[in-house]
Structure 1
Amino acid sequence: MSAAPTAPVPPLLLPMPDDDPADCSDSRCAEFDCPELLRGELTDLRRAVAGDPPETHLPPPGEADRARHRWFVGHHAAFAVWQLQARALQAMAVTPEPPTQRAVRRAAALYDAYSVLFLYSGSCSPEQYAAVVRPHMSAAHPAFSGAWARDHAPVPAALRLVRARHPASVLAPLTRAARDNQRAHMAVANKLVPSGGSLLEEAGRQTADLTTAAEHDLYDAYFGVRRRQVCRPGFEAQLVRRLAQCASDIVVHGLGPSPDGCPERFTHDALSVLTALAEHIAARQEPTPLLPKEVTR
């Protein structure tokens, strides 16, 4: 079985969650102008939001192929967002003074972006999910699970540290975004699998079970993730391309109604949430703080 969807989605090059960005002078970057790639992807995203999506960014025709496309592209973008979330939260966790409101809003915006991406990934009908997406994952492994995503593991741990170390009043926007993210996650899961049984549970396992390195690797392989050092502009260019693909798809085909229990702002403001993340990348002059090595998971 091929792990790729019908409409080819390029492999996503990601560092391991704890790895620092590579230097752009690395020999693997020699054939690319990574900052120029990033500028081009930002231009494509702006075109899409303005109602002129590039043809190269549109999903394949047909509901089944579009469901697979959204599942893969949405997850790719989420993996990159998770790495940004971990860095933002861990930087806040090791700061002795309460974080600035700018830092809190930035972390909250990343949660909102992931909420929209999860909504986008799971925007197909329950029937399409049962017929197209779920069997594809099950064929890769009977217990295939999102719990095997190595990029997400640092996020909840870092959020717990932030909440333990800083006043709740300062963290209010982040707390709201994290709560709304949980609501969106549960709403999409309940819509797609009304019975509530995940592949992992049906295989007799629990999300608390220890994930093996082989399962992390299988999850990466399924979604076409290749682990290697990546420079910061190269990382950001890949993320913005996926955001532009999501935006192009939403502009043409819509996102559909909010699932029951999902905050409606994620559906109504989907494009602005994705654009805000990309514009933050475009406006940033200084590198995002690297992962603090002293933070434990």
Structure 2
Amino acid sequence: MTMIQTHGVDTCLRVPDPGPVGTVEPLVLPEAPPPDAGERPHRCPQPIAADLALLRLAAEGGRPRLLTPPEDERERIRYRWWVGHHAAFALWQTLTATLDRILREPRPSPRTVDAATRMLDCYSVLFLYSGSCSAEQYAATLRRDMHAYDPAFSGTWARDYERIPELLLRVKHRHPRSLVGPLNRASRANKLAHVAIAKKLVPNGASLLREAGRCPHAGAMGNTQDRYDAFFRVRRERVCERVVAAQLVRRLAQVLRDLADEPDLLARGGSARDPQWARAVRGVADDGPAILTRFADILARRATGGSAP
């Protein structure tokens, strides 16, 4: 990707304006998230406003004429899987930097803790969105695609997630509940959402990694992380934080545009008879559009140097 210089900031060329059809463009991320700089302004000219306007219209009940998801059922399932995962990858980088900041501060600010909490809630919504298909549909499309790519394909190969569990545990032990209680709550809800989706999509619990005879706790290596990136069309290049934010806002706009057509989509992520669903996942599903919109606002305000809510 061509690089340009803007006031001393390296950035890639702009994300295209939203078009009539939702597509899954390659996601461009840095190798690792840059340190969270709080309210440092970003001088990159990458536009975000069009996606934010579309996102808010969809969240308020409108049906934008842009970013329409595929009509074919199987392609729509794949579209949701890729869009949801791309959003999660970029979100993980943002969350990692924010958790690092919380750990560096003797007393983290409520604003920073709130931002991390909203990121985790957004990640829970993305779980429900990506995994909104049935177990039968998952087996016939997504699981088949991943198996064809690598019989041991596994989410444990995702490089952008690997530090997050440890960081959340360190935050929990470093700071009192009075400061990070909401973040701990969001972390528990996120784990329950993960369990609920895995249980729904793979009822027998047999992951591709286990079926291939691999140890699920062995950890990822560079080559498996590279293969994971390649499957999801993720490239690693020097890009600034605003470009990462713009790509993430685009994916969130795609999710909300999809939900405008199917408002009950997130509720397909589990069973109301499942206690785990009733405790955690249903609440996230009911508040999904608002959760995504609030997080998009945080991204946009940070990207333009404003104060996050």
Tell me which interval the TM-score lies in, with the shorter structure as reference length: 0.7 to 0.9
Aligned to 2:297: 279
Contact persistence 2:131–2:269 (CA under 8 A): no
The CA deviation string for residues 86-141 of structure 1, in whole angstroms up to 9 with x for no partner, is 0111111121x221222222111110000000110000011100101100011110
SS at match of 1:226: strand
User: Cα distance, 1:281 vs. partner?
Assistant: 2.1
Within-5 A mapping of 1:199-214: 199-214=208-223
Corresponding residue SS for 2:173: helix
TM-score, structure 1 normalization: 0.86
SS of aligned partner of 1:248? helix
1:169-226 CA-to-partner distances (Å, cap 9, x unmatched) read 3211011000000000000000000000110111111221131111101100100101
Tell me the C-alpha RMSD between the 2 structures: 2.1
Q: C-alpha displacement at 1:48, in angstroms?
A: 2.0
Tell me which of 78, 92, 97 is aligned to 1:87: 97
Alpha carbons 1:19, 1:229 under 8 Å: kept:
no
Stretches of 4+ moved more than 6 A in 1?
Answer: none
2:285 maps to 1:267: yes
Residue 225 (1) aligns with residue 234 (2): yes
- Please say if residues 245 and 300 of structure 2, whose CA atoms lie closer than 8 Å, have aligned partners that are also in contact: no
| Structure 1 Cα separation of the partners of residues 240 and 183 of structure 2 | 28
Between the aligned partners of 1:83 and 1:157, the Cα distance in structure 2 is 14
Which residue type is aligned with residue 260 of structure 2? V
2:189 is equivalent to residue 180 of structure 1: yes
1:136–1:192 Cα change, 3 Å: same
Question: SS state of the match for residue 170, structure 1?
Answer: helix
Q: Is the 8 A contact 2:23 2:67 kept in 1?
A: no
Shift of 1:167: 1.3
User: Is the contact made by 2:81 and 2:130 (CA closer than 8 Å) also made in structure 1?
Assistant: yes
CA deviation vs aligned residue, 1:124-175 (integer Å, no higher than 9, x gap): 0111001011000111100100000000012112112212211133211011
After TM superposition, give the deviation of residue 45 of structure 1 in Å: 1.1
Quick check: 1:165 aligned with 2:174?
yes
Q: Report the Cα distance in structure 1 between the residues aligned to 2:82 and 2:131, rounded to whole angstroms.
A: 10
- 2:122 corresponds in structure 1 to 113
Tell me the amino acid that sits aligned with residue 296 of structure 2. Answer: A
TM-score of the superposed pair, with normalisation by structure 2? 0.83
Q: Secondary structure of 1:208's match?
A: coil
Match of 2:260 in 1: 251
User: For 1:280 and 1:161, how far apart are their aligned partners in 2?
Assistant: 24
Alignment CA distance shift 1:237-1:130 (3 Å)? same
- Residue 258 of structure 1 deviates from its aligned partner by 4.4
For 1:291, the equivalent position in structure 2 comes to none
Which position in structure 2 is the counterpart of 1:58?
A: 68
Are residue 98 (structure 1) and residue 116 (structure 2) matched?
A: no
- In 2, Cα distance between equivalents of 1:237 and 1:161: 30
Which residue, 15, 23, 37 being the options, matches 2:30? 15
Question: Structure 1's 276 and 286: CA in aligned 2 closer, same or farther, altered over 3 A?
Answer: same
8 A contact 2:157–2:228 mirrored in 1: yes
Question: Does the 8 A contact of 2:42 with 2:305 survive in 1?
Answer: no
| Greater length-normalized contact order (CA 8 Å, ≥ 6 residues apart) | 1
Aligned residue pairs: how many? Answer: 272
The secondary structure found in structure 1 opposite 2:205 is coil
Q: Which amino acid aligns with 1:13?
A: V
Note the C-alpha offset of 1:40: 1.8
Q: Which whole-Å CA distance do the structure 2 matches of 1:54 and 1:218 have between them? A: 35
Gaps of 5+ in 2: 1-21
| Amino-acid identity (%) | 44
What's 2:58 paired with? 48
Q: Which amino acid aligns with 2:212?
A: A
Q: Which moved more, 1:200-209 or 1:243-252?
A: 200-209
Q: 1:59 to 1:118 in 2, by over 3 A?
A: same
The alpha-carbon deviation at position 54 of structure 1 amounts to 3.6
